[in-house]
Structure 1
Amino acid sequence: MIEFRTQLVAIHRTLSWNKQWPPQSTINLEDLPTARQIFDAEDLIVPEGKLISSNSETTLPASKLYCPAAWAARIPKGASVGGTVLTPDNQAVITSMESWQDHGPPNNWLLPISRRNHHLTGSCLDIGKLIWATNYFHFLIDALPHLAILGEAEWEPDWILVYQRRSKFVDAIFQKMGLDKKIVYTSIRERYEADEMLVCTMPNQRIGKYEYWGMNFLSQVFKPEKESKKIRLFIDRSGTAVRKLRNQAQMLEQLSKYNFVTVRLEEKTIQEQVNLFHNAEVIIAPHGAGLSNIAFCQPNTKIIELFSPEYVQTMYRKMAARLQLPWLGVLGKGEMLYPDSVKRNILYRDPSLNKDIILEPELIDRALAWAFEK
């Protein structure tokens, strides 16, 4: 596979107008002459968890995840293309434990880039890959904590590169942080050079390494407002395209006995979402980006995450472990809204990852019993 990808890179370079792209060599961030270690390495202890279904209960074993040290470096006369930072001699800077040799070049390395070269006066931070500017989870958890590293190093960028189209939540977050005048929205097909590129370790490497410094940073930025009374939240995904709760009306009837508040997060401001999660004692939600907001929960908030059988992604279980939040996974039945849809199969590499969820009443009762056990 690696050899095949290398051949693709060679073909791309031969056909491309830009013979310097993609770069042929790499350098690890910590090997740069100006590299500084900012945060120490640590372990994340994930306790046992439970995944329940209508006919079984599975114990997810405890584990220990290694979170590497965080580094930052300055690169005079550096550049960036599609989230990849380059040294003046055209070396790609590796910012995570995932090496270029192990995983091949990022997909955008095989895309042609335009002839548009831009120069930015001052220092520039590139906060990420393509999906990070359009997906709430990746922006909040993967992109923003770059600024925690630079803040600790006392380096302030003059410019911040954000990729792809503008997203309302991105604009709102940067405006809240007072950084909206520094943002440059760009595409993967443009090259940005700067007097100085600032580069730092990729936070949350390989989904599920929620470093303490990243989680602390988010709370400092958004400053959740604590209320005197706790609430119980059910996150309604009926307005989204995928992973909706098909028998939601039935579930809401069961939840009504426990005074749950039903919320559509897309109708709330970022700060309103932060405050809701911060003041919750129990949260029930289908798997989705909205659960990123558990980053703002107070310790011991109980998280009940709903799944379809084909897609059980336990990244929020790991985040809950970092934040000392009890977590329960609930496995319902999966059902495609348009099982034979050609469009759906084109849009999603694996359509089963986006199946809607059906929960039997007995399963909901078991989850509620777990949430309110004495």
Structure 2
Amino acid sequence: MATTKLKNQLRYSAIKSLKALRLPSLRYYPSKEISLKEYLKKGRLSKIRDLGEDKFILTLPNGRVWSSNGTIITEDNTFIKEINRNSNDGSKNIIFYQKSIIKPVKIDGCAVVVAVPWGSVYYHWMVDVLPRLELVKEAGLFENIDHLVINEVQKDFQLVVLNKIGIPLSKTIQVKDIWNTHYQFDQLIVPSFVSEPNRSDLLTILSIEKHFPSLETNSRIEDLPKKIYLGRTKANNRKLLNESDILPFLMMHGFEEIFPENHTVSEQAEIFRNAQIIVGVHGSALTNIVFCKPDTTVFDIAAPEWINNCFQDICELKKLHYIRIIGDKFLRTKDIDKGADIHLSKAKVIFLQESILQLL
């Protein structure tokens, strides 16, 4: 069976051939893909505010936003690489694999766009969206905008962040799907990405910590668990199939099972700041290790189909001890990658147990 990447390459070649025919259905398809430096050299009617360290805010006249991925297309139908995200597998942006793109809805006024792929997911909201919001806020631009183009607001943590930044829901345009979203604004303000896809840098960490500082006066801090296990039984995928092989051991040694989604972000921050050992299946809940104190130990249980260094990056930045435990690869009934469930062999279970005992 051909891989997804190969299928995308074939699809891209076919659509590229169709573009030469100038079909009306491909009218809004990007005609070229260039770097920001090349675009600015052409003297386009845009302006850029350089924030240093490869951070910037770009303003595009009549800029367009396509899909819930927040894909940016300029007035002259150009795709600028630095302000758009490609797929994790190295394929091009998903816009290049579409048979057609709907006509943009023209909206008067000035808009800021911070929508990103999977932006409604806790990890991507905190690591990708929040730092970009912070760039715009620090530049003092929110006071003069009419709209904020953002991923669909589905969770309380999103409302909390918008409230802290000072953006009312009435100003948001929430992009909810890929094919039926396409807007054009008089002015489009595009903050740069703060870090690479599925990566973090120091500004990412500082942006999150700034909005969720330690509650030193919290009288309940002494009651918070020092050792926590992040359960994923409520998740739709990426579950630990033989959780029963490790959970009794963890409970016996003083661990408390935590479901972060049952807590506010501020409560999650306090739980993780107080923790000394964290065991979790690879998922958004581990984003909260940004709040941990140095020398905290983090066990990241992952499937071999989805090895991602996003939490290892945070551990390095925060001076935490990171240990990845990779489950067994076994026959799947369908093609699964990042959503694959996890099974730990007996040897891996013993390794986890012995590693924890050395910390107690």
Structure-2-length-normalised TM-score:
0.79
**Alignment deviations for residues 200-252 of structure 1 (CA, whole Å, 9 cap, x no partner):** 222321322x1211210111122343455362211011121222223334423
Q: Is the 8 A contact 1:235 1:286 kept in 2?
A: yes
Say whether 1:272 aligns with 2:257: no
TM-superposed deviation, 1:153: 2.7
Stretch deviating more after TM superposition (319-328 or 239-248): 239-248
Query: Which of 93, 96, 104 pairs up with 1:106?
Result: 93
TM-superposed deviation, 1:352: 8.0
TM-superposed deviation, 1:89: 2.1
Stretch deviating more after TM superposition (1-10 or 190-199): 1-10
Say whether 1:79 aligns with 2:64: yes
TM-superposed deviation, 1:71: 1.7
Looking at structure 2, the residues matched to 269 and 352 of structure 1 have their Cα atoms a distance apart, in angstroms, of 26
Q: Describe the shift of the 1:371–1:315 C-alpha distance in structure 2 as closer, same or farther (beyond 3 A).
A: farther
- Specify the code of the residue in structure 1 equivalent to 2:262: E
Query: Which of 120, 139, 151 pairs up with 2:125?
Result: 139
Query: Which of 191, 204, 214 pairs up with 2:182?
Result: 191
TM-superposed deviation, 1:38: 1.1
Looking at structure 2, the residues matched to 224 and 275 of structure 1 have their Cα atoms a distance apart, in angstroms, of 7
Query: Where do 1:44-123 residues align within 5 Å?
Result: 69-82=54-67, 83-95=70-82, 105-111=92-98, 112-115=100-103, 117-121=105-109, 123=110
Instruction: Determine what percentage of the aligned residue pairs are the same residue.
Output: 18
Partner SS for 1:354: coil
Q: Describe the shift of the 1:84–1:3 C-alpha distance in structure 2 as closer, same or farther (beyond 3 A).
A: same
Say whether 1:255 aligns with 2:250: yes
Q: Describe the shift of the 1:178–1:196 C-alpha distance in structure 2 as closer, same or farther (beyond 3 A).
A: same
- Specify the code of the residue in structure 2 equivalent to 1:28: S
The structure 1 segments of at least 4 consecutive aligned residues displaced by more than 6 Å after TM superposition are 1-4, 97-100
- Extract unaligned runs of 5+ from structure 2: 1-5, 41-45
Partner SS for 1:23: coil
Correspondence for 2:3: none
CA RMSD of aligned residues (A): 3.2
Correspondence for 2:206: 216
Looking at structure 2, the residues matched to 26 and 113 of structure 1 have their Cα atoms a distance apart, in angstroms, of 17
Correspondence for 2:215: 225
- Extract unaligned runs of 5+ from structure 1: 41-68
- Specify the code of the residue in structure 1 equivalent to 2:49: R
Q: Describe the shift of the 1:137–1:248 C-alpha distance in structure 2 as closer, same or farther (beyond 3 A).
A: same
TM-superposed deviation, 1:15: 7.9
Looking at structure 2, the residues matched to 286 and 19 of structure 1 have their Cα atoms a distance apart, in angstroms, of 43
Looking at structure 2, the residues matched to 191 and 310 of structure 1 have their Cα atoms a distance apart, in angstroms, of 33
Partner SS for 2:59: strand
TM-superposed deviation, 1:316: 1.0
More strand, by proportion: 1
Q: Describe the shift of the 1:168–1:357 C-alpha distance in structure 2 as closer, same or farther (beyond 3 A).
A: farther
How many equivalent residue pairs? 331
Query: Which of 50, 54, 59 pairs up with 1:37?
Result: 50
Looking at structure 2, the residues matched to 146 and 36 of structure 1 have their Cα atoms a distance apart, in angstroms, of 14
TM-superposed deviation, 1:29: 3.4
Q: Is the 8 A contact 2:232 2:281 kept in 1?
A: yes
TM-superposed deviation, 1:184: 0.8
TM-superposed deviation, 1:291: 0.8
Q: Is the 8 A contact 2:64 2:104 kept in 1?
A: no
**Alignment deviations for residues 74-107 of structure 1 (CA, whole Å, 9 cap, x no partner):** 123322222222332222222259789x966411
Partner SS for 1:241: coil
Q: Describe the shift of the 1:326–1:77 C-alpha distance in structure 2 as closer, same or farther (beyond 3 A).
A: same
Q: Is the 8 A contact 2:11 2:97 kept in 1?
A: no
Q: Describe the shift of the 1:163–1:182 C-alpha distance in structure 2 as closer, same or farther (beyond 3 A).
A: same
Looking at structure 1, the residues matched to 338 and 147 of structure 2 have their Cα atoms a distance apart, in angstroms, of 40
Query: Which of 198, 211, 217 pairs up with 1:207?
Result: 198
Structure-1-length-normalised TM-score:
0.76
Stretch deviating more after TM superposition (360-369 or 197-206): 360-369
Looking at structure 2, the residues matched to 352 and 211 of structure 1 have their Cα atoms a distance apart, in angstroms, of 22
TM-superposed deviation, 1:365: 2.0
